[in-house]
Amino acid sequence: MTIRQHAWCVPLTALACALPAVADLDQMGYNALLDRLGNDAPTGASVGVAQVEAPTGNGNYSPNQGSSHFTGKNFTEMSGSTGVSSHAQNVAVPMYSGTSSMAHGVEDIWLYEASNWLTGGFLRTSAPVPPLSPPASVRVFNHSWVGNVDDFDDEVLRRADWATNEFDILVIGGVANSGTSGPPLMSHNFNGLAVGRTSGSHATGATADGFDGPGRQKPEIVAPAGTTSSATPRVTAAATLLFDTAQTDPSLSSNPNASSPDLLKAALLAGATHSNDHGDSWTNNPIESGPQRGIANQPLDDTVGAGTVNIDTSHLILTGGQQSASSTVPASASADMAGWDRPQINAGNSAYWRFHVSEQAAEASFVITWNRQVSSNFNSYTLAHLELELWEADGGQVSSLVGDDGLGVFASGNVVSQSDIDNIQHLYLTDLAAGEYVLEARRTDGLSAGWDVAAAWYIDADEAILGDLNGDGKVGGADLGILLAAWGDCPDPGDCPADLNGDGQVGGADLGILLANWTN
């Protein structure tokens, strides 16, 4: 087996892999996270990370472990004795250093040389055995290299996706710095994340013909950096903070869904800043007028995917908590403005979430993603197909927002995501009007198995307190009086503020909501 690998930064060109500036951390939402949480902000301390490097010089694949950037860090060399690689150093600093990384609390790092990781060190490609178990605490694998493995590319990608499912890890790799799609490893996987640069200066285009799932959009997310080699560890650091939060936050740590890699992938994508730093406005190319206005056949922007990683927004989504879907259209709103779920959906069925948006939302982002399932012999795989749609709700009924029905409800974006290829669907809207909405994730394939689907969302609205009917910022006796005065059927269901659950009447359910939000 011949492995052709290419490091993305010329090791001797220091500026190609410059250390992150404060502006980079600010652009990725880290300073906002610190402003919001202070000393309670996650650091990555509970998470082990793995760094996989193409060898440089005499086979070196390690950062300078004695550097002051890594004081207190524990390194394990998984591919034999190694000297220092300047490329590995420049990847490691934004990924887990104590001086410049948002994941500065990471203590345990496992180092792999890429050829060894692909073969006997982890994936065991071409051997009649499954991949090895990763070190116990490792949740993320960073791949700041590209390459091909001759006739084994599909097997490598299948093994990596199988390991993602089996061991609950997230494999994060970058696209090449230039070209149409670049060498596929590791950016062509289904279950991981492919990373580009916020500037858009990287390989763009669909996954290549001749590989599993040609035509899928890559990259899926970007970060501010001079090269994809140093953008990738910035996304890895953000993922590390989400894993740390899922494992240590008391409201999440007992819920295994919170630390599922597909869920954290969805949270990263839904929380991304839909950036235009690459010179063009962010767009997933929805139909902008006519009877199909609001339908998009691709989930992501062609250049920057979901946009620039934003750890603050993604953290808000994760800590918003799991909000369980209904198998039928819910009669009342129960989903918050930021949150997630991970239902299992059977073929032909749907999952629904209902939202009450009290004020116009500047933007709304909804993502579902689901993993492919790889056979234990790595000879085949299966993949469900889902679509995502946002409906307007009125009482127990929903109505389409496609075409003219969406005029005046949202300014731009898509309310339907129906890619036939990707295992991601994404809705992104601007200026979503106040009202009641239902999000539907629907299975459209004929596979017999139920499928785990990760859903994440963020609605950027100044949300009023539900039950604050007089607008004084609290729920109390005055609001109770307004609700009781409106008791009964709403004369105008479209203008009935005391109808808190949107069912067309003011009654006991609304009284329960008001009392649950009582503040004085």
Confidence bin at 180 (pLDDT 50/70/90) = low
Q: Tell me if 175 is assigned to some domain.
A: yes
Number of domains observed in the structure of the chain: 3
CA distance readout (Å), 154 to 73, 186, 379: 35, 11, 9
Residue 297: its H or E element: none
- Go through 101-122 and write b for each residue having 16 or more CB atoms within 10 A of its CB, e for each that does not: bbbebbbbbbbbbbbbbbbebb
Residues near 452 by Cβ (< 8 Å), separated by ≥ 6? 260, 262, 342, 343, 344, 370, 371
- Render 47-83 in DSSP notation, one character per residue: -EEEEEE--BTTTB-B--TTSGGGTT-EEEETTS---
Q: Say whether both 230 and 93 belong to one domain.
A: yes
pLDDT digits (tens, 9 = 90+) for 267-313: 999 999 997 888 889 999 999 999 999 999 999 999 999 999 999 99
Q: Say whether both 217 and 294 belong to one domain.
A: no
Q: Tell me if 383 is assigned to some domain.
A: yes
Q: What percent of the chain stands above pLDDT 70?
A: 93
By three-state DSSP, how is residue 398 classified? strand
Q: Tell me if 492 is assigned to some domain.
A: yes
Residue 391's CATH number: 2.60.120.380
pLDDT digits (tens, 9 = 90+) for 46-78: 999 999 999 998 899 999 999 999 999 999 999
Q: Say whether both 408 and 295 belong to one domain.
A: yes
pLDDT digits (tens, 9 = 90+) for 300-332: 999 999 999 999 999 999 999 999 999 999 999
Q: Say whether both 495 and 359 belong to one domain.
A: no
CA distance 328 to 113: 49
Q: Tell me if 369 is assigned to some domain.
A: yes
Q: Say whether both 93 and 133 belong to one domain.
A: yes
Confidence bin at 1 (pLDDT 50/70/90) = very low
3-state secondary structure 204-226: CEECCCCCCCCCCEECCEEECCC
Q: Say whether both 66 and 214 belong to one domain.
A: yes
Q: Tell me if 502 is assigned to some domain.
A: yes
Helix ranges (DSSP H) in 272-332: 311-319
Q: Say whether both 164 and 223 belong to one domain.
A: yes
Please state the rounded mean pLDDT for residues 130-144.
97
Q: Tell me if 271 is assigned to some domain.
A: no
Please state the rounded mean pLDDT for residues 362-390.
98
Q: Say whether both 229 and 293 belong to one domain.
A: no
| Contact assessment for residue 158 and residue 66, using Cβ atoms and an 8 Å cutoff | no
Structural domain for 494, as ranges? 477-516
CA distance readout (Å), 250 to 39, 152, 246, 254, 511: 16, 43, 9, 7, 30
CA distance 342 to 329: 17
- Least Cα distance to 343 among 319, 382, 370 occurs for 370
pLDDT digits (tens, 9 = 90+) for 451-489: 999 999 999 987 667 788 887 667 888 899 999 999 999
Q: Say whether both 377 and 499 belong to one domain.
A: no
Q: Tell me if 4 is assigned to some domain.
A: no
Q: Tell me if 266 is assigned to some domain.
A: no
Q: Say whether both 499 and 445 belong to one domain.
A: no
Please state the rounded mean pLDDT for residues 153-167.
97
Residue whose pair of structure tokens reads 């899922």 in the numeric block: 246
By three-state DSSP, how is residue 33 classified? helix
Residue 191's CATH number: 3.40.50.200
Query: Phi and psi at residue 86, in whole multiples of 5°?
Result: -65, -30
Q: Say whether both 397 and 349 belong to one domain.
A: yes
State residue 104's pLDDT score. 97
Q: Say whether both 166 and 134 belong to one domain.
A: yes
